[in-house]
Chain A
Amino acid sequence: MVDLWDGLTQAFWLVFTLDAELAEIAIRSLYVTLTALVIASVIAFPLAAFLAVRRFRYRRVIIAVLNALMGLPPVVVGLIVYVLLSRSGPLGVLGLLFTPTAMIVAQVVIIVPLIASIAHQSLRDLWQEYHDLLISMNVTQMQKMRTLIWDARRALLTATLAGFGRGIGEVGAIMIVGGNIDNVTRVLTTAIALETGKGAFGLALALGFVLIALTIAVNLMIHWLSQTEREGRW
């Protein structure tokens, strides 16, 4: 109990005094995850729409695999990305290992299946609603996908927020590919892991509370910006 209280007060002081180091790693956390989120959404939404609209041979298999990949273990993703990006790996020449970019790559891999699966579910339902009308209007495949994505944008936001939650709290992959290097690749989650290892529970908890507050703040902000939960809107 004392540790918890200690953590809370430390968190308060860290935030209150605008601790420079804290600000740096918090901003890096946001930078990595939000960038990964944007890239993952750009990949996942069209993929989900395509799977909703198009009937082809391996569609069901792909959807099943996508659903299974929602539970992809981040450590394994980190390991694979590490191997690919390491000096002797196929993408070693890019020199990306132990950079924020490598962390973004790993997070994109983790987030895409999650966003695509959730997005697919809502787009599929919407497609069922729209099917007859759009078929009758003889619109192109691309127009169908764009219509679905636009009209389901609020449901897609939920998918994005789920992706954000998974990304911002993730530690396994970014620890491996980022290396938790001070001032370079240290983010909130890796810092928490480090401080816990050192036995500095107070600081670790403080960082933890900051992380939770940050997550809630981002969620609220996105909700507010997109005006969900208002009457008569989608």
Chain B
Amino acid sequence: MTALFPLIVSGAETHRRGKVLVGPVDLQLGGEGATVIIGPNGSGKTTLLSLLHGTARLHAGTITWQQPADVARAAQSFVFQRPVMLRRSVLENVAYPLLMRGVRRTKALAVAQEWVARVGLGQMPERAASLLSGGEQQKLALARAFIIEPQVVFLDEPCAALDGRSTREIEAILQDQKAHGTRLILSTHDIGQARRLADDVVFMRGGLVHETAPAAQFFDAPHTDAARAFLNGDIVE
């Protein structure tokens, strides 16, 4: 496996109907741990994630991986805030990315079975995915994201609509993957989650990166007033 990182973003911008959604963003992300993007609603967290992932159009600037674009893209997964369930069984959902990559069906299903068990859905591989609870669906989405053994996984507020227990289980899976060396880049507006998971923090506001810092430094002594206010629980727009 050759290194994708550091990821270098310079002057990246994306628009919609003439309005700048995000940018210009300058950012450099190293190859380890978890980066947590925090910020108020509408500050561009989701858009920044899709921009880095390559699913939002880059109107200006550059986003450079240390590998050709297609290689980089194949080593990434994305987990959505509201998981998309294919109209198939749990097992088929998890096996899907492997099947699309040309893995033989028996092999893909066997690997999927492992992953299903690993995220705690081992009791229900044949259940229709759409019948799962919100937490179970998100766990399925994680298994589906990790099954391709990506080098980096983007997660857009993965626990936004979940209760404490599901959140804890999902964070455990994420910690585990982080320990295995998978790079995580996730957005959240749950500051507690940011504290638990982050190695470094990107604070966004109004479509711009307002502050970046290692997690410890950011949570102890943020440089900007807005970040300080946000951490204090004040309303920041």
Contact = CB atoms under 8 A, between A and B. Distances in A.
Interface of A: 126, 129-130, 132-133, 135-139, 143, 147, 151-152, 232-234
5 contacts: A126-B87, A132-B80, A147-B86, A151-B87, A234-B128
A138 B84 contact: no
Contacts of A136: 53, 55, 77-78
A232 B131 CA distance: 7
B73 A133 contact: no
Contacts of A135: 55
Contacts of A139: 100
B100 A143 contact: yes
Given A139-B100, A232-B128, A130 B73 contact: no
Given A139-B100, A232-B131, A132 B86 contact: no
Given A137-B100, A138-B73, A234 B84 contact: no
A133 B53 CA distance: 12
A137 B84 contact: no
B128 A133 contact: no
B60 interface: no
Smallest CB-CB A-B distances: 4 pairs: A133-B84, A136-B78, A151-B87, A234-B87
Nearest to A155: B87
Contacts of B88: 151
Nearest to B131: A232
B74 interface: yes
A29 B84 CA distance: 44
A126 B78 CA distance: 19
Query: DSSP class of A's interface residues: helix, strand, loop or mixed?
Result: helix
Interface in B74-100: 74, 77-78, 80, 84, 86-88, 96-97, 100
A49 to B, nearest CB: 15
A151 B77 CA distance: 22
A153 to B, nearest CB: 9
Query: DSSP class of B's interface residues: helix, strand, loop or mixed?
Result: mixed
Contacts of B86: 130, 133, 147, 151
A132 B55 contact: yes
Given A130-B86, A139-B100, 9 more contacts: A133-B86, A136-B55, A137-B97, A143-B100, A147-B86, A232-B127, A232-B128, A234-B87, A234-B128
Nearest to B99: A143
A136 B83 CA distance: 13
A93 B9 CA distance: 66
Nearest to B128: A232
A130 B128 contact: no
Nearest to A152: B87
A135 B84 CA distance: 12
Contacts of A129: 84
B95 to A, nearest CB: 13
Nearest to B76: A136
Contacts of A126: 87
Contacts of B127: 232
A132 B84 contact: yes
A232 B127 CA distance: 8
Contact of A133 (B74, B80, B131): B80
B206 to A, nearest CB: 24
The interface centre, meaning the residue of B77, B86, B87, B131 with most chain A CB atoms within 10 A of its CB, is B87
Given A136-B77, A136-B78, A233-B128, A130 B100 contact: no
Contacts of B84: 129-130, 132-133
A153 B220 CA distance: 55
Contacts of B53: 136
A139 B55 CA distance: 13
Nearest to A130: B84
Nearest to B73: A138
A133 B140 CA distance: 13
Contacts of B74: 138
A234 B131 CA distance: 12
A1 B7 CA distance: 83
Contacts of A130: 84, 86
Contacts of B73: 138
Interface string B119-140: 0000000011001000000000
A137 to B, nearest CB: 6
A17 to B, nearest CB: 47
A137 B84 CA distance: 12
